[in-house]
Structure 1
Amino acid sequence: MLLSILGLAGALAYGTADFFGGLASRRITAMPTSAIAAAAGLTALALTLPWLGGEWSASAVGLGVLAGLAGAVALPLLYASLALGPMSILSPLTAVVSALVPMTVGLARGESLSPIGYGALGLALIAVVLVGFVPEKGAVRPSLRGILMAIGSGAAIGVFLILIDLTPEDSGVNPLIVGRAVNAAIMAAAAVLIWRIGVRRAGGKWVGRTMSDGGAGSVAAHPRTLSPAVRTGVLLAMLGGFCDACANVLILIGLRLGELSVMSVLVAMYPAGTILLAALVLRERIAPVQWLGLALALVAAGLLALG
């Protein structure tokens, strides 16, 4: 039961982070959002060191670096695939792949479940697809490029989970801190590069959006001026980073206590958190198929607790 609670809590925390990140991206664009969230998450994880810190070792640092690189690959691919669309297909595809990759590795390593447990994993995968399905009117078939990006993003998320599972049990949150530091450095470097390109273009043909809408162009053209929309975006990005750090800690504890195959499927239900918050805060409608997915997710979590 504890493993199911940790997995679902981690998924909800990830979904909440995506919700805040999505709102922030509307104000300050995706790359600055990613950089700020990474820095905020690193700070939050560092604050847990006195209680959750562990032994530093070459294995903990090395696996942490690789996990950070996997995260740096996953996020841009995810944003790029969703931008190409349709989200109704590519979002659940990413989630399913992010579950299948570590689940396959876990089962190949000898993890075993009861017949109820295996049935619950299958039911959970179906729930992931239904929860992540966002009905779109007139949605077109995804391009091969979009499909490959979604698969790549899901695989990178899965690799991240595998690497965290491989970290030494006595390392505590140290691998997460190393990984987040690597991720933050990469995202910050990319954000600065994009900002500098924007500054150069602001004086020429490309100006970007105005200060009133808080777009990337406003930051480039007036680097010392922050509009209310930009300040709100920064705060939302920081909240997203904090929630993402909380999700990482919950998942780390779950992986220490249970099976990789089970945790990976439970974590893949992260779209549920985003969907529920969008319904509560933004008054977005939850489709019947998504309600069905949420119900199946709860049933699957209960069965996994028994299996």
Structure 2
Amino acid sequence: MSPELAAVAFALLSAVSWGAGDFSGGVASRRLNPYLIALLVHATGLLLFTLLALLGAEAFQPQDIPWSIAAGFAGCVGLVFLYRAFQAGQMGLAAPISGVVGAALAALVGFFLEGLPAPLQLLGFAVGLLGVWLAARSRGASGPSQGLIYAFLAGLGFGGYFSLIHQVEGLFWPSALAKLVATTLMLWLVWRMGLLRRETKLTATLGLVGLAGLLDAGGNVFFLVAAQAGRLDVAAVISSLYPASTALLAWGLLREHLSRDQALGVLLSLVAITLIASG
């Protein structure tokens, strides 16, 4: 398999893993505060990446430290602003906007660092971004959003994470350091909000939260491998197709209705993957 096809395959695995992680976290959020879920998800990733780095005897690259710290901060900020957008009551718009902005920012960085991709890949990017928007949309999510600025900032955070973590040379240690930064920031936020003192349903949701953490960590690993094997913009756009897998899981396991827009988004996502891979 060529490096380009390998990058597409790993980026697709990243989208599936991230989408399944969002599904698990979404189910858990019906019982537990989402900020606390974010903390536990980051902490799970921190433990997993540290264990994998130690078991694999991965060499620590000091030059990865600043990139990992910045990536952890960007990812954490993106998540916080995403939840702020959700709290504004505009979840149907927040998810697609943050996904599109994040993928677009990473694609622009990729264009700047690596030059323009092939014409078919450019078309695939456009189709993929449209697929991200449609797959994440909810019915009735039209009209202006008071949480639009939060969703936009969330997308900048996620796009920043994509772009920054791409610069590292290692695999598990950079991800562990990024998760350490995110865990520390989320722990401070949760402590300031007093959530640990008020939450009473933590034990009952640990299984779902742990699964969400493992899937989130898997998405991070697959994305990093994809970005190192191929182009950053290819990895970022395909990885950002995760709303399609989230929608499919909700439809298949929870019997939630898949709207026409979501179904079209899933189809466009598959078309985008084909175009980007063929490029």
Gaps of 5+ in 1: 200-216, 220-225
2:229 equivalent among 257, 262, 265: 257
Provide closer, same or farther for how the CA distance between residues 272 and 110 of structure 1 changes in structure 2, counting only shifts above 3 A.
same
1:141 counterpart (136, 140, 144):
144
Match of 1:3 in 2: 7
Amino-acid identity (%): 28
Correspondence for 1:61 among 65, 69, 72: 65
- Counterparts of 1:53 and 1:165, CA distance in 2: 21
**Distance (whole Å) between structure 2 residues aligned to residue 55 and residue 24 of structure 1:** 36
Give the SS at the match of 1:14. Answer: helix
> Match for 1:40 among 39, 44, 49?
44
1:46 deviates by 1.8
**Structure 2 residue aligned with 1:210:** none
Q: Are residues 1:97 and 2:96 paired?
A: no
Q: Which amino acid aligns with 1:167?
A: V
2:129 aligned with 1:128, yes or no? no
Q: Secondary structure at the match of 1:283?
A: coil
Counterpart CA distance in 1 for 2:117 and 2:68 is 29
User: Could you say which residue in structure 2 is the equivalent of 1:192?
Assistant: 191
Report the Cα offset of residue 188 of structure 1.
1.8
Structure 1 counterpart of 2:260, from 273, 284, 288: 288
CA-based RMSD of the aligned residues comes to 1.8
**1:154 equivalenced with 2:158 (yes/no):** no
| Structure 2: tracts of 5 or more residues without a match | none
> Is 1:33–1:234's contact at 8 Å kept on the other side of the alignment?
no
- Check 1:52–1:71 CA distance in 2 against 1; reply closer, same or farther (3 A cut): farther
What is the one-letter code of the residue matched to 2:160? Answer: V
Query: Can you list the C-alpha shifts for 1:212-261, whole angstroms capped at 9, x where unaligned?
Result: xxxxx4x3xxxxxx5xx532322211111111000000001001101011
Shift in Å at residue 174 of structure 1?
1.2
- Output one character per residue of 1:23-57: Cα deviation in whole Å (capped at 9) or x when no partner: 22221211211111111111111222156553323
**1:204-243 map, 5 Å:** 217=198, 219=199, 229-243=201-215
Deviation of 1:94 after TM superposition, in Å, equals: 0.8
Contact 2:244–2:269 (CA<8 Å) still a contact in 1?
no
Q: How far did residue 61 of structure 1 move?
A: 1.4
> Which residue of 2 is the match for residue 279 of structure 1?
251
297-306 vs 52-61, greater mean Cα deviation: 52-61
Between the aligned partners of 2:194 and 2:89, the Cα distance in structure 1 is: 26
Q: Which runs of 4+ in 1 moved over 6 A?
A: none
2: CA distance, partners of 1:285 / 1:51 = 43
Q: 2:271 corresponds to which letter in structure 1?
A: V
What SS does the aligned partner of 1:166 have?
A: coil
What is the CA distance between 1:140 and its match in structure 2?
A: 4.6
Q: How many residues were matched structurally?
A: 275
Query: Alpha-carbon deviation of 1:180?
Result: 0.5
Take 1:186 and 1:195, find their aligned partners in 2: how far apart are those partners? 14
What's the counterpart of residue 174 of structure 1? 173
State the alpha-carbon separation in 2 of the partners of residues 182 and 99 from structure 1: 22
Give 1:76's aligned amino acid: V
- SS of 1:109's partner is helix
Q: Is the 8 A contact 1:7 1:267 kept in 2?
A: yes
Q: Within 2, Cα distance between the matches of 1:61 and 1:52?
A: 19
| SS at 1:26 equivalent | coil
Q: Classify the secondary structure of the residue corresponding to 2:175.
A: helix
Contact in 2 for aligned 1:53/1:172 (Cα 8 Å): no
Letter in 1 for 2:236: S
1:113 aligns to what?
117
Aligned AA for 2:134? L
Partner of 2:164: 163
Does residue 49 (structure 1) correspond to residue 53 (structure 2)? The answer is yes
Structure 1 residues 269 and 53, CA gap change in structure 2 (3 angstroms): farther
Which has the greater radius of gyration? 1
CA deviation vs aligned residue, 1:152-188 (integer Å, no higher than 9, x gap) = 00010000011111112xx222110101011112212
**8 Å Cα contact 1:86/1:141 also seen in 2:** no
TM-score (norm 1): 0.84
- Distance across 2 between alignment mates of 1:52 and 1:266: 28
- Aligned partner letter, 1:230: L
1:302 corresponding residue in structure 2: 274
What residue identity is the alignment partner of 1:152?
Answer: L
The corresponding residue for 2:84 is 80
